Amino acid sequence: MKTLEKRIRESVEEGRKAFVPYMMAGDGGLGALREKLLFLQEAGVTAIEVGIPFSDPVADGEAIQRAGERALAEGVTLRNVLKELEKCKGEVAVPLVVMTYLNPVLAFGLTQFVEACSRSGITGLIIPDLPLEESEPLRNELNGTDIALVPLVSLTSPDERIERIAESAEGFLYAVTVNGITGERNKFSEELYSHMQRVKEMSRVPVLAGFGISTQAQVIEMGKHTDGVIVGSTIVEAFHRDELEKIRELVQTSAEKFIIVD
């Protein structure tokens, strides 16, 4: 079992669903990355999803797109993010999951990318535009490492495909809550909760819900039906506005009120 899955399982076994914030690396300058990581760690998150800015972020909503544009304007790249993370390796103890698109990885080179991730202490990868059918070359590079390739399943995925994706999953299974891009939503349907529970029954790894989860109430409700949640746009916007206490309150209050459902 790789570290990412182990940490999530430990959290759930202790009665706390996993809380994974998403942050855009380099938003506010690459020099702020270490400080933000340490702040999230101190707030009590289970793991941290570190986004890499990209010029064509097809899965990202407006808030994360703007953050990516700000980071790109600072000259932030996949390569220099990984170098910065390597500097933080001794201080950041929570698992780090890099979220990037496939093009920067291919430009980096698969072997070189995986080696750089290993040096930086990365424990997971999320690549939303890498389908299961095309993932074998990267999986081969990841064999023998502690880096989990985290797949996504959508609301429109049929059960047979969900089962195939779940069988390949490492770390956790990322269950997308909406048909569309990231961003805050006002509410979710009861059918979604049924879908999440069905996905959870099919998966041999923990299931975390993401996309559109922004409020404490949504975090708590979604946590009843999954092993945890990923919160992105709200965290990104709060960092941009320097609303650190808003982030701390969301992380800590949500963790305290999560309800474990058998």
In a domain, 262, yes or no: no
pLDDT tens for each residue of 93-126: 999 999 999 999 999 999 999 999 999 999 999 9
Dump strand ranges (E) for 100-167.
122-126, 148-150, 152-153
- Residue % of the chain over a pLDDT of 70: 92
Mean of pLDDT over the chain: 90
* Residue of 60, 84, 141, 227 marked catalytic: 60
- Band of pLDDT at residue 92, cut at 50, 70 and 90: very high
CATH of the domain at 25: 3.20.20.70
The stretch 127-149 carries a mean pLDDT of: 96
pLDDT of 75 reads 95
pLDDT of 261 reads 45
In a domain, 216, yes or no: no
pLDDT of 18 reads 94
Q: How many CA atoms lie within 13 A of 77 on its CB side?
A: 10
Whole-number Å distance between alpha carbons of 19 and 219: 9
Rounded to 5 degrees, what angle do the CA atoms 207, 209, 176 make? 110
Confidence (pTM): 0.92
Compare 253 and 26 and report the one with higher pLDDT: 26
- Band of pLDDT at residue 186, cut at 50, 70 and 90: low
In a domain, 168, yes or no: no
In a domain, 221, yes or no: no
Whole-number Å distance between alpha carbons of 166 and 226: 14
115 is catalytic: no
* Residue of 49, 170, 227, 237 marked catalytic: 49
In a domain, 173, yes or no: no
Tell me if 24 sits within 8 A of 68, measured CB to CB. Answer: yes
86 is catalytic: no
pLDDT tens for each residue of 70-85: 999 999 999 999 999 9
In a domain, 175, yes or no: no
Whether the per-residue pLDDT at 182 is higher than 60: the answer is no
Whether the per-residue pLDDT at 132 is higher than 70: the answer is yes
pLDDT of 262 reads 40
- Strands 148-150 and 152-153, bridge-based pairing: unpaired
The number of distinct structural domains making up the chain is 1
Whether the per-residue pLDDT at 171 is higher than 60: the answer is yes
Compare 96 and 59 and report the one with higher pLDDT: 96
Residue span of the structural domain in which 80 resides: 3-150+227-257
In a domain, 37, yes or no: yes
Whether the per-residue pLDDT at 241 is higher than 60: the answer is yes
- Distances from the Cα of 77 to the Cαs of 46, 158, 240, in angstroms? 25, 36, 19
pLDDT of 25 reads 97
Whether the per-residue pLDDT at 181 is higher than 50: the answer is no
- Distances from the Cα of 255 to the Cαs of 15, 20, 217, 248, 249, in angstroms? 9, 11, 11, 11, 10
pLDDT tens for each residue of 32-56: 999 999 999 999 999 999 999 998 8
Could you tell me which residues come within 8 angstroms of residue 14 by beta carbon, excluding any fewer than 6 positions away? none
In a domain, 241, yes or no: yes
pLDDT tens for each residue of 210-228: 988 888 888 888 888 899 9
Whether the per-residue pLDDT at 237 is higher than 90: the answer is yes
H or E element, residue 209: strand 207-210
Two tokens, residue 89: 């390796």
pLDDT of 192 reads 86
